[in-house]
Amino acid sequence: MTDFKTPYGLIGRKLGHSISPEIHAALGNPHYSLYELEPDELPVFLADTRLKALNVTIPYKIDVIPLCKTLDPLAEAIGSVNTLVRQDDGAWKGYNTDAYGLRCMMRAGGLSFDGANVLVLGNGGVSQTIQAIAKLDGCAALTVLDLKGTEYTYDDLPKFYADTTLIVNATPVGMYPKAGKSLVDLTLFPNLKGVADVIYNPQRTALLLQADALGIPYAGGLTMLVAQAKQAAEHFFGKPVDDAKIAEIGAKMQADAENIVLIGMPGSGKSCIGNALEALTGRRQIDLDAEIIKKACKPIPEIFAESGEEGFRRIESEVVREQSANRGVILVTGGGVVTREENYAPLRSNGHIYQICRPTEQLSREGRPLSIGADLHEMERVRMPLYRKFADAAIDNNSTPEAAAAEIWRDFCAYTRAEWAEFEYARHS
Gap between the Cα atoms of 55 and 63, Å rounded: 13
Buried/exposed 314-323: b ≥16 CB within 10 Å, e otherwise: ebbeebbbeb
Domains contained in the chain, CATH given: 1-96 (3.40.50.10860), 100-224 (3.40.50.720), 258-417 (3.40.50.300)
Q: What is the pLDDT of residue 372?
A: 57
Q: What is the pLDDT of residue 380?
A: 87
Contact 384, 268 (CB under 8 A): no
Can you give the three-state secondary structure of the chain, one letter per residue? CCCCCCCEEEEECCCCCCCHHHHHHHCCCCCEEEEECCHHHHHHHHCCCCCCEEEECCCCCCCCHHHCCEECHHHHHHCCCCEEEECCCCCEEEECCHHHHHHHHHHHCCCCCCCCEEEEECCCHHHHHHHHHHHHCCCCEEEEECCCCCCECHHHHHHHCCCCCEEEECCCCCCCCCCCCCCCCHHHCCCCCEEEECCCCCCCCHHHHHHHHHCCCEECHHHHHHHHHHHHHHHHHCCCCCCHHHHHHHHHHHHHHCEEEEEECCCCCHHHHHHHHHHHHCCCEEEHHHHHHHHHCCCHHHHHHHHHHHHHHHHHHHHHHHHCCCCCCEEECCCCHHHCHHHHHHHHHCEEEEEEECCHHHCCCCCCCCCCCCCHHHHHHHHHHHHHHHCCEEEECCCCHHHHHHHHHHHHHHHHHHHHHHHHHHHHC
pTM: 0.88
Average pLDDT over residues 52-64: 95
Tell me: pLDDT of 396 over 80.
Answer: yes
Give strand pairing partners of 352: 260
Q: What is the pLDDT of residue 365?
A: 55
Contact 243, 427 (CB under 8 A): yes
Model confidence over 255-283: pLDDT tens digits? 999 999 999 998 899 999 999 999 999 99
What is the total residue count of the chain?
A: 429
Query: 313 phi and psi, to 5 degrees?
Result: -65, -35
Q: Are strands 92-95 and 83-86 parallel, antiparallel or unpaired?
A: antiparallel
Average pLDDT over residues 73-77: 95
Q: What is the pLDDT of residue 142?
A: 98
Q: What is the pLDDT of residue 428?
A: 47
Contact 34, 20 (CB under 8 A): yes
Higher pLDDT, 288 or 428: 288
Average pLDDT over residues 193-207: 95
Q: What is the pLDDT of residue 119?
A: 98
125: pLDDT confidence band, cut at 50, 70 and 90?
Answer: confident
Tell me: pLDDT of 241 over 90.
Answer: yes
Tell me: pLDDT of 198 over 80.
Answer: yes
Q: What is the pLDDT of residue 361?
A: 77
Percent above pLDDT 90 for the chain: 84
253: pLDDT confidence band, cut at 50, 70 and 90?
Answer: very high
| Across 107-111, 238-242, 379-383, 425-429, least confident range | 425-429
Give strand pairing partners of 118: 142, 166
Average pLDDT over residues 181-199: 97
Average pLDDT over residues 374-396: 91
Q: What is the pLDDT of residue 308?
A: 92
Tell me: pLDDT of 109 over 70.
Answer: yes
Q: What is the pLDDT of residue 375?
A: 75
Tell me: pLDDT of 29 over 70.
Answer: yes
Opening angle at CA 38, ends 35 and 40, nearest 5 = 125
Tell me: pLDDT of 219 over 80.
Answer: yes
Helix axes 244-257, 221-237, angle to 10 degrees: 130
429: pLDDT confidence band, cut at 50, 70 and 90?
Answer: very low
Residue-averaged pLDDT of the chain: 93
- Our measurement of the distance from residue 306's CA atom to the centroid of its chain's CA atoms, rounded to an integer in Å, reads 37
Q: Are strands 194-197 and 166-169 parallel, antiparallel or unpaired?
A: parallel
Tell me: pLDDT of 59 over 60.
Answer: yes
Q: What is the pLDDT of residue 373?
A: 56
Q: What is the pLDDT of residue 369?
A: 57
Model confidence over 220-231: pLDDT tens digits? 999 999 999 999
Catalytic residues: 61
Model confidence over 139-183: pLDDT tens digits? 999 999 998 877 899 999 999 999 999 999 999 999 887 788 999
77: pLDDT confidence band, cut at 50, 70 and 90?
Answer: very high
